[in-house]
Amino acid sequence: MKRVLVVDDEIGALTLIGIMLERGGFEVLKAQHAREALHLLDMEGAPDIFILDVMMPEIDGIQLCRMLREREETKDVPVLILSARSDAKSVIQGMEAGATDYILKPIFHHNLVEKVRNLLNMGATAD
């Protein structure tokens, strides 16, 4: 079973995304902020994919994405940024930080599951 680490400071969004992914057949790890996500990485190892919210306290999703790209064990793991910010500047910042893709909230269950599956298949064929 593929593991997804979801990082979102909004507990409602975190829960909903987690349910969507679990129903889609994924094992879901959840973190409410970047420091918790980094701690989970140290404890559990790298997941198969990250889903990051942009707007979070202290370390935002863009900064976290950069941090993940700098770590040997996560530099090649797909990062999906899921954000309410739809302006071009935010999207460009996300992609420049190393995100694999950037999609907008709200997202429907089938769209999220399909996007995650596509990103994981893309990663599997690149090896």
> Is the residue at 63 inside a domain?
yes
pLDDT bin (cut points 50, 70, 90) of residue 122 is low
> Is the residue at 92 inside a domain?
yes
The tens digit of pLDDT for each residue in 73-88 reads 999 999 999 998 888 9
> Is the residue at 124 inside a domain?
no
CATH number for the domain that contains residue 61: 3.40.50.2300
The encoded tokens of residue 80 equal 């999906």
This prediction has a pTM of 0.93
Domain count within the chain: 1
